[in-house]
Amino acid sequence: MKTIEKMCQKARRKGILRVIIMSLVTVTLMASLFGCGKSDTAPEEEKDGLIYVPEYQKLAFEARYISQLAPAGDEAYMAAMVEDKENEGYKTVVYQYNLLENTAKELSIADLDGDVNVNAFLISGDGNLVMVVNQYQYEEDENGEIVDSSMTMELRRISVDDGTVINSQDLANVVDRIENSYIQYLCEDGQGNLYLCDGDQGIHIVDKDFNKLCDISLDDWVDGMAASKEGDVYIATYNENGMVLKKVDVAAKKLGEAVEGIEDVFGNVGYYPSVSKSLIQSSSNQLKLIDLETGTSEELFNWMDVDIDGNNIEIVGELSDGRIWTISREYSEEGDQYELVYLTRKKASEVPQKEEIVYGALWLDTLTRRAIIDFNKSNDQYHISVKEYGNDFDGSQVAQFNADLTSQNCPDLIGLTSLDFSQYASKGVLEDMYPYMEKSGLDKGDYLENVLKAFEQDGKLYGIVSQFYITSTLAKESLVGEENGWTLSEMLDFVEKNNPENVFMYGSRDSIFRYCIYNNIDEFIDWETGKCFFEGEEFIRTLEFAAKFPEEVDYNQEEEGISARLRSNKVLLMENTVSSVQEYQMMNGLFGEKVTYIGYPNSERKGNLIQSSGGSFGISAKSKHKEGAWEFVESVISKEYQDSLVEDNYGWGFPIRKEALEKQFENDMTPEYYEDEEGNKVESSKTTWGYDDFQMEIMAATQEDVDAVRGLLTSADRLSGNVDTQLTNIITEEAEPFFKGQKSAADAAGVIQNRIQIYVNENR
């Protein structure tokens, strides 16, 4: 196990560059805006006067990582990686867990020592454990470095009473191409047959004596597998309608049709055995009971309403006394944190009542989800419920969000991310938060003034973020100089002068046209006079420029990686972010020389844009719960919370509070060391960042690095995505006939001019 721990330590030092593709959702602002008010509609689970009340407990044992969980009535079995003090490493231990008493008993299981991993396990109908075990073998050179490795995979039936192996089978005899397989799911049907699934290659079925019965091939990826109360095994997979359940038909050696009546769900989806119905279904948002005979489901509760993050759910089960139990997992570099939660159904009248605040957003980001849960757990007066509008594909809920924001159903707290913030602020939908800051004794001088300015109109603060990053356009300093900012004409001149193979790595006609206009609309509209300028030379030039690029990009073509193409000037620009000093360091390495964050083109030459990474918040001007809504906003900009973003290394981006930001910079500049064989102190990399085919060890940042990032963060005062998408929709729609050769650029520009002029006249 020591070898595995060494590998884990190395892995923890590796950073992964997360490339996030932001898809802005079209939100149409209604021409006339009405006052907003709190809806008095009760939460779903309160309609019958009953609610689920959570009780949080610590697990009865400490573990760095729990690899497997298997429910068994009022018990559960857990395979965990725990500290091995004797051998100064970690070992795998199996626990028998009494859920009614919250106690754990360590089982003595044979042959789990050494480099062993329990892939999957369950409690069989005969009361014994069945598990899939991976055994690793490593070959090291004279320096102790791993030069070769191999793995065997076994299916074992193990006595719960004494831990002995009753039966075993080398899965090479069951699974073809075992070296390329990783068994993720293990289930048992009512006849004792075992179903093993690796997610994509197939389902492998053996009888209770481990004799192979058949293989069932898969056309789609399996996202879950579970045995129903009726004794059948089902897989969760995807088709054109989203996630569906299909029965595994052993007799026919194929999958059945999708079960009718089961709604599509999103996020962290899992299916578990049920006592009262066929299956339990858990998703990022809800917990449901599934009745497969009737094809119906019953929602028990929304995870946020019981102050649990559905994305962290590891397992769910039902107890004989009617309670629901679950284990949630909070990820941490120092070791994952597990929490056992019991949920009891009670009369609402028996539970202390809190003032309900509604938070409405297109979607709920991880940091905001966590902040709301922490607020709800710690606050005795208020409770925030969440209404998430963006989890649909047809846009109906997005339209509903827009309608709610401008009606009596307006949420108390509004998630502003990906909304046209300025339109809502100018129409009186949002509350000025500066008076609340002053009343709370918060000094706005403690926060980044430019970020506050981005949410201001006429000196009033209509929104705020807890954490943010910068979106920008990057280019070599040797090509564009060291100054940030350029106009559209300057950008077009630069590209045409250098004549690259492409502007961006994957630059299509539509993406380049959108890049030119999306954050640059105001260059063609004078909102004070109402005049529009889309028939001018510059806009026509932009149309003709975009038309030079391919309609679609072949992402599968074999070519040089992005680093090589940037260094050779085959690609000139790159859209990216500044989410950390480390990312800034990596980008300079990617380009092979110093980079200028020149930004998106616009008339003011202010193209570095602020993007929330931890939620952006506004308060409804007509809310009946403004004080409670502000109490939450205050909690995420408080000194304690802002410092925690740095100390816990949680989230992605920079804190808005200056003092916390400087602490983050100090961490970035603090070197890390290791001791070599001769006892010398040697500086080591803090992490590794990668992008495409490029990787770079990140050392402690220099003062020059930090000063450059600080300059970028404090100079940006415009919001990313703060664009009226009605305007961009009109432009892209009417530009299409030109791109298809049906109109000239001048004719297309004339149509755009007329439509935009009408829209501006109606909305000034």
| Domains defined along the chain, listed by start | 2-41+358-468+611-718 (3.40.190.10), 469-610+719-763 (3.40.190)
Question: What are the φ and ψ backbone dihedral angles of 160, each rounded to 5 degrees?
Answer: -70, -30
Q: Using 50, 70 and 90 to split pLDDT, how confident is the model at 38?
A: very low
Show the tokens assigned to 654. Answer: 């920079």
Show the tokens assigned to 619. Answer: 């308060």
Amino acid at 727: L
pLDDT at 683: 96
Residue 430 gets which letter from DSSP?
B
Q: How many helices (H) and strands (E) does the chain have?
A: 18, 43
Task: Determine what percent of the chain is predicted with pLDDT higher than 90.
Answer: 66
pLDDT at 23: 33
Sign of CA dihedral 233, 237, 243, 247: negative
8 A C-beta contact, residue 655 and residue 645:
yes
Report whether pLDDT(43) > 60: no
Q: What is the pLDDT of residues 55-101, one digit of tens each?
A: 999 999 999 889 899 999 999 999 998 888 887 788 889 999 999 99
**E strand intervals along 274-351:** 279-282, 286-291, 296-302, 313-318, 324-330, 337-347
Considering the entire predicted model, what is its pTM? 0.85
pLDDT at 284: 92
8 A C-beta contact, residue 262 and residue 244:
yes
Amino acid at 619: I
Show the tokens assigned to 540. Answer: 């026509």
pLDDT at 543: 96
Cα–Cα distance measured from residue 752 to residue 383, given in angstroms and rounded to the nearest whole number = 47
Report whether pLDDT(476) > 60: yes
Give the DSSP H/E element, type plus range, for residue 538.
helix 537-546
Q: Using 50, 70 and 90 to split pLDDT, how confident is the model at 747?
A: very high
Of residues 631 and 24, the one with the higher pLDDT is: 631
8 A C-beta contact, residue 723 and residue 22:
no
8 A C-beta contact, residue 643 and residue 660:
yes
| Mean pLDDT rounded to a whole number for the chain | 88
Q: What is the pLDDT of residues 509-519, one digit of tens each?
A: 999 999 998 88
600 burial level (CB within 10 Å; 0-12, 13-18, 19+): buried
Q: What is the pLDDT of residues 87-141, one digit of tens each?
A: 778 888 999 999 999 999 999 987 777 677 888 999 999 999 999 998 877 788 8
**DSSP state letters, 643-668:** HHHHHTT-SSSEESBHHHHHHHHHHH
347 burial level (CB within 10 Å; 0-12, 13-18, 19+): exposed
Low-confidence winner among 140-154, 305-319, 606-620, 733-747 (lowest mean pLDDT): 140-154
Place of tokens 């070898």: 3
Of 136, 80, 140, 132, which is closest to residue 104 (Cα–Cα)? 80
pLDDT at 11: 35
Report whether pLDDT(42) > 80: no
pLDDT at 7: 33
Q: What is the pLDDT of residues 534-563, one digit of tens each?
A: 999 999 999 999 999 888 877 766 678 899
Report whether pLDDT(732) > 80: yes
Q: What is the pLDDT of residues 632-658, one digit of tens each?
A: 999 999 999 999 999 887 668 999 999
108 burial level (CB within 10 Å; 0-12, 13-18, 19+): exposed
Provide the residue count of the chain: 764
Ordered strands of the 212-216 beta sheet:
185-188, 194-197, 203-206, 212-216
pLDDT at 392: 57
Q: Using 50, 70 and 90 to split pLDDT, how confident is the model at 733?
A: very high
Amino acid at 391: N
Instruction: Count other C-beta atoms under 10 Å from residue 85's C-beta.
Output: 8
Q: What is the pLDDT of residues 410-452, one digit of tens each?
A: 999 999 988 888 888 888 999 999 999 999 999 999 999 999 9
**What angle do the packed helices 703-715 and 658-669 form, to 10 degrees?**
150
Cα–Cα distance measured from residue 402 to residue 391, given in angstroms and rounded to the nearest whole number = 14
Report whether pLDDT(399) > 80: no
**DSSP state letters, 202-260:** -EEEE-TT--EEEEE--SS-EEEEEE-TTS-EEEEEEETTEEEEEEEETTTTEEEEEPT
**What angle do the packed helices 626-637 and 639-647 form, to 10 degrees?**
40
How large is the average pLDDT for residues 360-386? 95
pLDDT at 34: 29
Q: What is the pLDDT of residues 170-217, one digit of tens each?
A: 998 888 776 667 898 999 999 999 999 987 778 999 999 999 999 998
How large is the average pLDDT for residues 553-576? 86
pLDDT at 98: 97
Report whether pLDDT(36) > 70: no
pLDDT at 648: 82
pLDDT at 391: 62
pLDDT at 260: 86
Of residues 678 and 27, the one with the higher pLDDT is: 678
Show the tokens assigned to 49. Answer: 């006067």
